[in-house]
Each structure stands twice: as structure tokens, then as C-alpha cells.
Amino acid sequence: MFIIETYPLAVIFCIITMLCWGSWANTQKLAASSWRFELFYWDYVIGIVLLATLFAFTLGSTGDEGRSFIADIEQADSSNIGSAILGGVVFNAANILLGAAIAIAGMAVAFPVGIGLALVIGVIVNYLDNPVGNSSMIFLGVALVALAILLNAYAYRRMASQNQGVSSKGLILSVVAGVLMGYFYKYVAQAMFPNFSVPEAGKLSPYTAVFFFSIGIFLSNFVFNTFLMFRPFVGTPVSYGDYFRGSLKNHLTGILGGAIWCVGMAFSIIASDKAGTAISYGLGQGATVVAAIWGIFIWKEFRNAPKGTSMILNAMLLLYIIGLGLIIAAR
């Protein structure tokens, strides 16, 4: 299987993760005018499963190092398979709430608050499991990200207080999503053998782990998204009949969104061998900066905000960038 040999290459993979995780939601925004989020999300999940399977049979099955995908499944312990699937279930619970928050409050709020909170929790949880890197620099970076989250929430509350059409529901959903999102990565990491070039009996390769992670997302979606379809946070209920009446463009947009996200997930997991899980996860969640830039400058989600809000948002972005820089330098 393909593995990364150096830390600088691992950082490049983490940056690609950051771009993917921060940009997939543009597909949801593009589809929003004609396609409900709950329907979009089914195709998004299908896109994740398709890319995870493709990676398993290509990068995960070529080369002399590690263990190929099929051989890896044949020897895997059920406990490790279950851990990767559980990671998918936890992620899906978090991500479906994040998607709902994006639909309500926009990318510039849902990502900095939800994913920023996930970064803070996830870096701490993963560092305790696998303490790689300078702890002082990692936790200082996390502290700056936490401050950036508070600034973003404050900016959104200012806009909500001035505009009656702005709901605080999106902010609340972002917080709940962030708490859940901070835990999914550790379950996937625990299922894998730590040194990707030296396979361990019963443990999973990164590609096999991501595959079963995607299965956890897919299976849990029949529970989580079905419930949301019939009891949506905003709007009227939708049905499976509505999904099958969607256009090819609508379905392909959702699949593209899931594929983009899965590229990021696979690259993050692959990079964790040389970067450590805390740094790999933390850098990937720098997606908050990417998504905030999309939301603020491209989608103009704060165009109705009170005067002075732009200064708060610029400070938020600066704190995020400095915090992420410290996390990179920690290794």
C-alpha cells in the first residue's frame, strides 16, 4: 500500500485535507436553491463510500509496504473493524448536525464554531492517546483556536441581534456538532496499526480503516437522516420519493461533495503515520479557515452584519492561522 515517508510530505497531505474539508460544503450551498439538505446528504454519504472503496482497491492495494486491502480484511479483528465503524457513526451524527447548521447559519458560522470546537477537543483527545509533538506549542495553538471560536460566535450573535431573520439555532447546532466531531477520529486511529510500514496482526491498514469508517457512516445514515427527513430542523418533512425525483445534477453535486470530503479524510489518516494523530487531525481541521473565507468573502454570509463585524472576523481568521501555525511547528 502507499505510505508517506517524510514529515514535510505529511504536512502537504494535511494541507490538502484542510482544503477538502473546508470546501466540500460549497456543493451543499450550490444545491441549496433546488435541493433540500436532507436529500443532498444521502448523495454526500454515497460519495464518501465510493471514494473510500476506490482508495482501498488502488492506493491501499499497491506497493510492497504494509498489507493489501483484501488481505487486511481477512485477518482483521472484529473489535478493530467495530472501532472504525463506530468512528463513522459518531462522525455521521456530528456531520449531519453540521450540515443542518450550514443550511441555517452558513459556512462562516458553522465551520469556525463547530469544526473549531472539534479541533480543540480532537487535538486534546488524540494527543492523550498518541502524544507526538511539543505539547506546549500544540496547546497554545489550541487556545488561540478556542479564542477564534469565541470571536466568531460573538460576531454571529451581533448579526442575530440586529436581524430578526437570523436564528440562533444554527449556532447551537454547530456547538453540538463540534463536541461530537471531536471524538470520531480517535476510534478510527485506534483501529489501525501505528507504524504503517509494519503491519500488526488483527489491526487495520489506514485504507481498510477508512473503508469501514465509511460503512459506519452509510449504515447510521438510515437512522439519523431518515429521522431528520421526517423531523427537519427547518422546513417541511421530505420523503424518499422526493429523493428519487431529484435531477442527475442534484445527485452528482452531493456525490461530489462526499468525494471531496473523503479525499481529505483519507489523506489525513495516511499523514497521521508521520505527523501523529493530534497534529494530522488538527491541521485538517484548519478547514475552518478555508470555509470561513468561502462564507465571508464568496457567499457574503455576513453582509447584513453591524458595522465593525468585519474587524472581529479578521481577528478570528488571524488567530486561527497563528494557532494552526503553532500546531504545524509542534512536530
pLDDT reading at 255 higher than 60 = yes
Q: Which of 31-40, 126-135, 213-222, 235-244 shows the lowest mean pLDDT across its residues?
A: 126-135
CA-CA distance, 88 to 215, in Å (whole number)? 7
Percent of the chain beyond pLDDT 70?
A: 98
Q: Would 293 be classed as within a structural domain?
A: yes
Q: Which of 42-56, 61-75, 204-218 shows the lowest mean pLDDT across its residues?
A: 61-75
CA-wise closest residue to 118 among 269, 288, 265 = 288
CA quadruple 227, 261, 299, 251: dihedral sign: negative
pLDDT reading at 249 higher than 60 = yes
Average pLDDT over residues 106-114: 86
Q: Would 108 be classed as within a structural domain?
A: yes
Higher pLDDT, 117 or 44: 44
| 285 pLDDT tier (thresholds 50, 70, 90) | confident
Q: Would 148 be classed as within a structural domain?
A: yes
| 55 pLDDT tier (thresholds 50, 70, 90) | very high
Chain centre to alpha carbon of residue 157: 24
> Of the ranges 5-14, 86-95, 153-162, 319-328, which is most confident?
86-95
Q: How many domains, in total, are found in the chain?
A: 1
Q: Would 110 be classed as within a structural domain?
A: yes
pLDDT reading at 60 higher than 90 = yes
* Digit-coded pLDDT (tens) for 3-32: 999 999 999 999 999 999 999 999 999 999
CA-CA distance, 310 to 302, in Å (whole number)? 8
Average pLDDT over residues 73-94: 97
Higher pLDDT, 52 or 150: 52
pLDDT reading at 41 higher than 60 = yes
Higher pLDDT, 94 or 285: 94
State the chain's maximal CA–CA distance in angstroms.
Answer: 61
| 209 pLDDT tier (thresholds 50, 70, 90) | very high
Q: Would 2 be classed as within a structural domain?
A: no
- Global pTM exceeds 0.85: yes
| 207 pLDDT tier (thresholds 50, 70, 90) | very high
* Digit-coded pLDDT (tens) for 132-167: 889 999 999 989 988 988 888 888 888 877 775 556
pLDDT at position 166: 57
pLDDT at position 301: 85
Q: Would 1 be classed as within a structural domain?
A: no
pLDDT at position 165: 56
Domain that holds residue 114: 7-329
